[in-house]
């Protein structure tokens, strides 16, 4: 398992090591993947990673701009997410390992979990639940 500090001598490749990586929150709850990376171009200086983006719209854009518009239209009309792109500044990154990218957030409060919360409050609450759960 390679952590951010171990990438010191190797090059950290954006596409290979960050893009599409599993994103987890402070408690290591899975909350999505790095769907997009946004770089900042600076005058006379090398570009740097400004923030990561998450969301179906971001994924759609990687395939085609027209698909992106279609997916965004769907989200506006039928979706539960209020924010199409969830932007997380690089400063919020706690840890980058070969398994995941850990962010200093709580998953439940992020737009990524809008659907999870909606389904939980509107559907799952009404169904009798089994007694399974995290085993300590």
**Residue of 107, 115, 73 whose CA lies nearest to 88:** 107
Q: For other proteins, which stretch binds (CB under 8 A), given 20-28, 39-47, 68-76, 83-91?
A: 20-28
Task: Confirm or reject binding of residue 87 to other proteins (CB under 8 A).
Answer: no
- Cβ 117 vs Cβ 125: under 8 Å: no
Residues 6+ apart with CB under 8 A from 92: 103, 104, 105
Smallest gap, in angstroms, from Cβ of residue 83 to other proteins? 17
Q: For other proteins, which stretch binds (CB under 8 A), given 24-32, 45-53, 68-76, 82-90?
A: 24-32
Smallest gap, in angstroms, from Cβ of residue 106 to other proteins? 13
Where along the sequence are the contacts to other proteins (CB under 8 A)? 15-16, 19-23, 29-33, 35, 59, 62-63, 99, 107, 115-116, 119-120, 123-124, 127, 129-130, 132-135
């Amino acid at each position: 398992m390679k952590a951010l500090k171990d990438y010191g001598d190797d090059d950290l490749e954006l596409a290979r090591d960050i893009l599409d990586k599993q994103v987890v929150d402070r408690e290591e709850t899975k909350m999505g993947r790095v769907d997009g990376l946004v770089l900042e171009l600076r005058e006379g200086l090398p570009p740097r990673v400004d923030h990561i983006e998450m969301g179906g719209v971001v994924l759609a854009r990687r395939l085609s701009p027209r698909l992106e518009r279609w997916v965004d239209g769907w989200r506006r009309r039928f979706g539960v997410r209020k924010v199409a792109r969830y932007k997380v500044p690089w400063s919020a990154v706690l840890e980058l390992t070969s398994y995941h990218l850990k962010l200093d957030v709580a998953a439940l409060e992020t737009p990524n979990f809008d659907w999870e919360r909606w389904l939980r409050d509107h559907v799952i609450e009404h169904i009798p639940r089994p007694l399974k759960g995290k085993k300590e």
